[in-house]
Amino acid sequence: MLLIDGIKYQEWIPKSEEEFEEIIKEHAKDIFGEDSLYFPLKRKLKTTAGIGSIPDGYVIVFGDSPEWHIVEVELSSHPLYEHIVSQVSKFISGISNPNIQRGIVNAIDGEIKRDDFLNLRLRKAIEPTEIYRFLSDLISKPPILTIAIEKDTEELGEAINTLRYPQIKVVEFKTFTREGIGLPVHIHLFEPLYQAPPKEITITEITKEAITTTHKDEKRVTAKDLIDANILKVDQIVYGWHHNTKYEGKVLNDGSIELLHTGKKFSSLNAAVYHVKGSAEDAWRWWLTTRENGSECVLDELRKEYRATHP
């Protein structure tokens, strides 16, 4: 149990591996960093003898030190030693196969080409290198095997020691829900795989109409604040991508958002994106817009400009 300001939070256990996979996918950037892309591709890795296994996803990290991860999502209630040793050993054997490497590159490149936002973001991050060349060079290197689990155990440690692969990382990703409310108000507890400045625990409160995220060390900023500062314009269009579909919203004079495909109005950016995705999301990093000079940016960049000029 967690006790925060007198409020109790109970540990929550996913009902299935598929449910846990969705949580890891949703919080991939929190785990691997902002300079990362998560691809939930079920691409089979085969050994030279034809024995194969399918990981749960791949992560590309394109920062100062590019790296890639093969992701395996597990539940501690499963027979970990038997499953991990069998599954991951096949990953290790199969990934050295040039045909498998090429297949992974083609699959990831195809996903990027189908998503305009991913394509733009990666091109900006690695230019002047061409995307396919970048992926080919990266996938030819040994990957980091990342195991995400809701509870680390001794059995998992023994399994990892048996494998003797030097690049295995474990992410223990725990979830706690507020007593009397359940999953709509929750806390995730985990250690990111990237170096970041220390932060206070973030509590996300979700309802059908609003999502409020509180960071104790940062001044709260709203869309209305950006409008008043002339950083965001009334009727300016914001947009985001979900399941390869583009969703657009119009910023109204009170800082609320009107979704163009439904005409529904929401009191905040977070509430609008929650309606689109049906799950929690940091709206400032999900919504994009186009500046007057034609360049594209996430709204978090506009919020940073506001905070820089309004301490």
The answer to whether the CB of 256 falls within 8 A of the CB of 265 is: yes
Both tokens of 153, joined, read: 């155990």
Does residue 192 lie within any of the structural domains?
no
Please indicate, yes or no, if residue 148 is contained in any of the structural domains: yes
pLDDT in tens, 174-214: 999 998 888 888 899 999 988 654 444 444 444 444 444 44
- In terms of domains, do 148 and 262 share one? no
Please indicate, yes or no, whether residues 42 and 125 belong to a single structural domain of this protein.
yes
Does 258 share its domain with 142? Answer: no
Region of 223 on the Ramachandran plot (φ > 0 left; ψ -120 to 50 alpha; else beta): alpha
> Residue 96 pLDDT > 90, yes or no?
no
pLDDT the model gives residue 74: 93
Residues 159 and 305 in one domain: no
Q: Are residues 32 and 155 in the same domain?
A: yes
Range of the domain at 167: 2-174
- Of 174, 191, 213, at which residue does a domain stop? 174
Residue 181 lies in a domain: no
pLDDT tens, residue by residue, 229-285: 999 999 999 999 887 788 999 999 998 999 998 888 988 888 888 888 876 678 898
Alpha-carbon distances, residue 291 vs 243, 255, 299 (angstroms): 25, 18, 10
Tokens 């024995």 found at: 51
The answer to the question of residue 276 being in a domain is yes
Each residue's pLDDT tens digit, 98-123? 888 898 999 999 999 988 888 888 88
For 81, 84, 158, 239, the CA distances from 163, given in Å and listed in that order, are: 10, 9, 9, 45
Q: For residue 189, give Cα distances in angstroms to 2, 201, 278, 285, 303.
A: 10, 8, 22, 21, 26
By mean pLDDT, which of 38-52, 54-68, 133-147, 148-162 is the weakest?
A: 38-52
The pTM score is: 0.62
186: tokens are 């929750």
- Report the number of distinct structural domains present in the chain: 2
Say whether both 134 and 52 belong to one domain.
yes
Does the residue 203 lie in any domain? no
47-81 pLDDT, tens digit per residue, is 555 556 788 899 999 888 899 999 999 999 988 88
CB-based contact 247:259 (threshold 8 Å):
yes
42 in any annotated domain: yes
β-sheet bridge partners, residue 59: 38, 69
- 259 plus 168 within the same structural domain: no
Take residue 155 and report the two structure tokens written for it.
Answer: 């059995």
Per-residue pLDDT tens over the stretch 157-172? 888 888 888 889 999 9
Boundary of a domain, candidates 105, 139, 174: 174
pLDDT value of residue 208: 40
Same domain, residue pair 70 and 161: yes
**Mean pLDDT of all residues belonging to the chain:** 84
Whether residues 125 and 33 share a domain: the answer is yes
Question: In this structure, is residue 19 part of a structural domain?
Answer: yes
Both 146 and 230 in a single domain?
A: no
